[in-house]
Amino acid sequence: MYRNFYRLMRFAVNYRRELRLMDYLREFERNQWLSAEELRQVSWQKLKQLLEHAYVNVPFYQQRFQEVGLTPADIQTEVDFLRLPLLTKEDINKHTDSLMATNYDERQLKRDVTSGSTGVPLVLFRERDHDIIDVAAFTRYRRWFGCEPGDKIAWIWGRRGDISGVTLAQRLKRERWLDGYRPTPDKLQQYAEMLLKWKPTIIAGYGNVIYIFAEYLRSQNITGIQPKVVETTGMTIWPHERETIAQVFQCPVSDRYGSHEAGAMIAGECPEHSKHIFSDFCYVEVLADERPAEPGQMGEVIITPLYTFGMPLIRYRMADIAILADKPCSCGRGLPVLDKLVGRTTSIFTLPSGKLLYGGIFRHIVLKDTLAIRQFRVHQSDKNQIEVFLQPGKGFDETIVSQVKQRCLAVLEGEPVNLTITVTDDIPITAAGKFLVTTSDVPVSFN
Ligand SMILES: [Zn+2]
């Protein structure tokens, strides 16, 4: 009922936008049932369009193509495409202006500083209407679990600005934002009571925080929060965490792999538990030693979002590690399948008082808007010891250090933690790999 009202309302607000959305959605819906080969073609055609656009309109790519002696016409196969150099976060920050398409007016683009999930803050420009295509991609994914736009979503998320009170837009969109940064028992209790009454269709958010919430509900014998699906994102969840979430919420758990850089989706897990790459939305390569990895072989994820024309990101290094599956999914969708996504972890920090803190808070709050930091890492070695490592970038000075310290202390809210800040050009790598930005050696305890 509300779904219909919601659609009608969106139509009334902007019917042109709504028609475009429907077009995209129809296409996405159709694409997913194509064969793997047909989908490869669809994806390739979109990629070719983007390359041609970038070659004609984006100074950075004109130069890149020139440097390697290529034109888009030379790129006929996936192997040819390997000849274009990879794009790093540093490239983006260094060449922000020349990465913008000259046929786009500044007013058509929106500036966005992302928190940098791998420890490098990033400035991006995106078309103002890009969210239409994001919504279409999300909608295809959520329909896999019987969900539609207008269904109630509870986000267990972090950005502070998003969680203060319920805005009118959130009411109309039927979204609720719960603070995933500080999952204290008091807050979890509040959320439990709210969600029991409100009955969300989808619970979405950081996988490990949703797991903590599920553990809390179980410890308090609270039952009855039963969405259609729990959508986890932001990091890989462990099998026991997934099992607990599925048992407590009595519904499927679907892991979504997305990123600010890609837009809504890189991959999403279907009801048959395959992580389907949204290859008609984002071109994904998995590379081992700069060559396409074999199915089953571990490789680095490289993405090319296919609908970002204002500031194209071509062969962008995600700094994630994945393995491609060697078999198609039994659900019948032709979208390729990621067998595993590894090396994506954001720890939960356990503070001296026993309070839990989602590690991502350091990315979103402590390091926000600070481009003078090239890279960072936050590590908790024991309950009382947190070390912050900063690699200086352009414009770095002592005031940045004291700002970071202030922000960390604010986040720690008076906990007796020995906080050290080390400025270094050589950030130590963890045993688990270089992609772990916020890590804690302290096991999470619920007592
Ligand atoms: Zn499937």
Structural domain boundaries in the chain? 2-132+259-342, 146-251, 348-440
pLDDT given at position 159: 58
CATH superfamily of 348-440: ANL, C-terminal domain (3.30.300.30)
pTM here?
0.80
Distances (CA, A) of 278 to 114, 253, 274, 337: 22, 18, 12, 9
Ligand 1 centroid distance, CA of 141 (Å): 11
Distance of alpha carbon 30 from alpha carbon 388, whole angstroms:
48
Domains 146-251 and 348-440 share a fold: no
Q: Answer whether 281's CB lies under 8 Å from 28's CB.
A: yes
Which class in CATH covers the domain with range 146-251? alpha beta
Measured in Å, residue 249 CA sits from the centre of ligand 1 at 22
Low-confidence ranges of the chain (pLDDT < 70): 11, 115-120, 159-166, 169, 235, 342-346, 364-371, 428-436, 444-447
Taking the centre of ligand 1 as the mean of its atom positions, its distance from the CA of residue 2, in whole angstroms, is 29
State the distance from the centre of ligand 1 to the C-alpha of 309, rounded, in angstroms. Answer: 29
- Rounded to the nearest whole angstrom, what is the distance from the C-alpha of residue 333 to the centroid of ligand 1? 6
Confidence at residue 161, expressed as pLDDT on a 0 to 100 scale: 43
Tell how far the Cα of 226 is from the centroid of ligand 1, in angstroms.
Answer: 23
How far away, in angstroms, is 330 Cα from ligand 1 center? 6
Distance 113 CA to ligand 1 centre (A): 34
pLDDT of residue 200: 96
Distance between CA 190 and CA 213 in Å, rounded? 11
| Residue 363 alpha carbon to ligand 1 centre in Å | 33
The residue among 204, 205, 188 whose CA lies nearest residue 196 is 188
- Cα 331 to ligand 1 centre (Å): 4
Q: How far is the CA of 336 from the centre of ligand 1 (A)?
A: 9
Give the Å distance between the CA of 39 and the centre of ligand 1: 14
Q: Measured in angstroms, how far is the CA atom of residue 337 from the centroid of ligand 1?
A: 8
- Nearest partner of 372 among 389, 390, 355, judged by Cα: 390
CATH superfamily of 2-132+259-342: ANL, N-terminal domain (3.40.50.12780)
Say how many Å lie between the CA of residue 33 and the centre of ligand 1: 10
What is the model's pLDDT at position 370?
65
Q: Encoding tokens for residue 336?
A: 């390729």
Residue 340 alpha carbon to ligand 1 centre in Å = 14
Residue 368, pLDDT score: 65
Q: What are phi and psi of 257, to 5 degrees?
A: -110, 110
CA distance 194 to 176: 10
- CA–centroid distance, residue 213 to ligand 1 (Å): 28
CA separation for the pair 66, 70 (Å, rounded): 6
- Per-residue pLDDT at 199: 95
Q: According to the model, what pLDDT value does residue 432 have? A: 43
